[in-house]
Each structure stands twice: as C-alpha cells, then as structure tokens.
Amino acid sequence: MLRPVSVLAVLGALLALSHCAVLLENGMPILWQQTASQLTDLPVQNGVLTPNPWHYLHRMSLYRLVIAATDPFMGSMGTNATDSPIWGLPLQLAWELTSGRLADPTGNTNCGQPTADPMCISTQSWWACVNYFFSVIPFLSAAQQGFFGEGIQVQMQVPEGVDYCTTYASCATHFAEPMAKWDAFYQGLKEASDSPASEPEKKDFILGLYWAAHQSSMYASAACKARQSFYSSSEVSFANNWQNSAEFVAATYFQSNIQRSAMFMTPLPSRVLQEGDNAPNIADLSYDENHTLSVFSWMNTMNKLLIGSLVRLWRGAMCSVTTREKGRELLEQVLLNPTFVSTTFIGIITEMSSSC
C-alpha cells in the first residue's frame, strides 16, 4: 500500500529550506519513499490496476514503477541508479507540486492547497493537464509493451464529468501519435539491449527515441490550452516559454538524469506568477529564478521574431553526437551562467550548423 505520511509537515519543512524551487528530499523526488514500489501497492478492481492520477503519490508512483521496470535496459546511460533520462519527469512533477502549480487555479476548491488537500491534483490545472501526457500515457504504453509483466490491465481513475482518456485503447485512439512514440521508445529499449552496437551508440539511440516521445506528448498537450485562461498573463507567458525551451533541450538528446535535471529545474519559479510579475525584477523570487525567466522569455521572443527559424536552426545544428554535446554545453551556459551574453547564441548556432 502507499505509505501514510504527514505531508503537511514534510512539505512545510522542505519549502522553508529555500526560496528556489524544491525538487528533492534526501536526493530523490519529493515524497518518493511514500510512493508505490510495486504494482500491488496500487489499487486493483476486478483484476484491473486502477491508479488515481489526481493524487500526487499515485501519479508519482507511475514514474517510480516505470523507472524500475526500464532500468535493466538503461545500462548505456551510466552506472548510477539515477542515470535514466526518465528521472526528469518525476522531478518536473515535484516542482509543480511545491510551486503550487498542481492546485486548483480557479480557487473554487481546496484541491492542492498545502494547508487543506496537498496531495490533490486539480483537473483544472493547466500544468497537471500537460503532465498527464508525460505520466499516464508513458505508463499505459509501458504496461502495453509488457514492462510490468504479461496481461496487466490498467484503467486510470477519473473524476466524474472530466474528459480524460483512462486506458491504453482510449488514449491511443485520442492521442495516437504520442502513444505510438512511447511504444517506439519502449520497443527501442528492448532492441538496444540485444544490439551489438557500442554503448555510446545505444545511448544516443535511446535518448533520440525518448525525446521524440517526450516532444510528441508536449505537442499533444495542446488539448490543455483552455485551462490557461485560469492564470495570469505572466504565468501563461512563462508556460509558453517553458514549452518552447523544451524544443532546444530535446534536440540535444539531453540525458535528463536526476543530477542534470535538478540543475536546470532548481532555478524555475517557486510560485505561480501573478499579474505584474516581470523578470528580472520580481522581488520575492531569487536572482536565479529571475534570470531563468528572462532567458526563457528571450529565447521565445527571438524564435517568434525569426518566425520559428531559431528552433529550426538549432535542430539543424544538432545533427551529430558531437554537435549535440556542444549544444548541451551551450544550453548550460545560456541558462545557468549569468555572465553569458545571450546575443552570441545565434552566432554560435550558425557556426555549429555549418559543420552539418
């Protein structure tokens, strides 16, 4: 069973530690030890697994189970237990929890409020809706591809009156492309384990499939667009900039293990943005948070001014293992080094693309 925990005490202690985004607890995603470590820890009805993705511990459990099931196929990622690229997804969910982005943005319920119902994930939250495509769909695909054993049937719980797909069949019908991409990722894991290719070649192959699936989920999450109306224009702008930044990260085949993911996610804003929040001058956010918001905004603005050509130029430059490695280093400089001059970004990309 999922382990009972005084979530108010845990969250209160963690949030008191820092003004930046809180992602980790003892080196793992927040409340990781309270999640399901095996399928039988989740509810079952008539032989069908029925997780509740509108409860934080259940949704985080989906990640824990997928990571455990796929780890035997992730040897090319490294020797650490936290080297799988899938770790970036539970860290994203942890940040969404502690920054208040899983709570009901309408204020009509106490869902997600730290002092009332902290484990509740609101069906009205844009962030929770987008995350559905990065948690439920990958889990259903993994089950379909036999990573939890043969014949495992899964049906997600869903609140009455809310229209979300809940089974592999229904999600594959309504969101065929992301489901197909996640299927291809899991199938590729099995293929790579039997391949005579070198470990670096396997790693690049697996990361390519992973990010193809990741971005397919991102594009499908356009179905969540209407929920952005519940947020301030500052938060909507940040949300759109955050999605745009994923284009750059995905093209580099970023190995989103715990260490690297935490490095990029810690400077994300630690609360939902309100009207009037304009980086880099948001007083109650840290320097790093203001810097990250400014960089995200600059990248998206430049891409719009260039009518999408910045993303296309970047993708074109990420044409080989070597240029993707340089791309990862460049992103680290842009996002994490305040002294880096962002205007040199385009020049460097242009130079890199000339080698393709």
Range of the domain at 7: 1-230
**DSSP assignment of 317-354:** H--SHHHHHHHHHHHHHHHH-TTS-GGGHHHHHHHHHT
Q: What is the CA radius of gyration of the chain?
A: 20
> Do 93 and 207 have their domain in common?
yes
State what percent of residues in the chain have pLDDT above 70.
Answer: 93
Q: What's the pLDDT at 343?
A: 61
Q: Is pLDDT at 6 greater than 60 in this prediction?
A: no
pLDDT confidence of residue 17:
46
Structure tokens at 203: 């790693």
**Domain limit, last residue, from 230, 250, 283:** 230
Model pLDDT, residue 103: 97
Poorest-confidence range of 2-6, 281-285, 350-354? 2-6
pLDDT digits (tens, 9 = 90+) for 93-140: 999 999 999 999 999 999 999 888 999 999 999 999 999 999 999 999
Which residue in 125, 67, 73, 61 sits closest to 97, CA to CA? 125
Beta carbons within 8 Å of 6's beta carbon, 6+ residues apart:
none
Share of the chain above pLDDT 90, in %: 76
Structural domain ending residue among the three candidates 173, 195, 230: 230
Residues 222 and 243 in one domain: no
Instruction: Give the number of other CB atoms < 10 A from CB of residue 276.
Output: 9
d(CA 77, CA 204): 9
27 and 143 together in one domain: yes
Domain count of the chain?
2
Q: What is the DSSP letter of 117?
A: B
80: Cα separation from own chain's centroid: 20
Among 162, 195, 230, residue at a domain's last position: 230
The tokens 């130079």 sit on which residue? 351
The mean pLDDT of 225-254, rounded to a whole number, is 96
Residue 27 structure tokens: 């080196």
Give the predicted TM-score (pTM) of the model: 0.92
Q: What are phi and psi of 352, to 5 degrees?
A: -65, -40
Q: Based on the fold, state whether residues 180 and 36 are members of the same structural domain.
A: yes
